[in-house]
Amino acid sequence: MGFYEQFKRAIAVYDEILRQPHRTEIARELRDEEDLFMLLCFSELLGLPNPAFYYTLELYPVIIERFHDWHLRAGMEKSPLEGIRCC
């Protein structure tokens, strides 16, 4: 193993040491960001006005698979929307 490979490995270990305490915070931030995105996409169905509804309408086929995980994480055992049956 050459010097470059050892240096690269040392940087990877150092980076992992720095990330370890913040791993849960990063996961929580990503989850909160996704929840906000899902709320933005489905806000019209929940009765909240959404100025970007036209643009989010195209995303429904892509995010409908993640909708089930989202409403379970939000504490709803069944889908809160009449038009979307995922359970």
Q: CB within 8 A of 30, min separation 6: which ones? A: none
Per-residue pLDDT of the chain (87 residues; tens, 9 = 90+): 789 999 999 999 999 888 888 888 889 999 889 888 888 887 877 788 888 888 887 887 888 878 888 888 878 787 777 766 677
At 42 the pLDDT is 79
Looking at residue 2, the DSSP 8-state letter turns out to be -
| Contacts made by residues 66-70, CB under 8 angstroms, sequence distance 24+ | 66/34, 66/38, 67/38, 67/42, 70/34, 70/35, 70/38
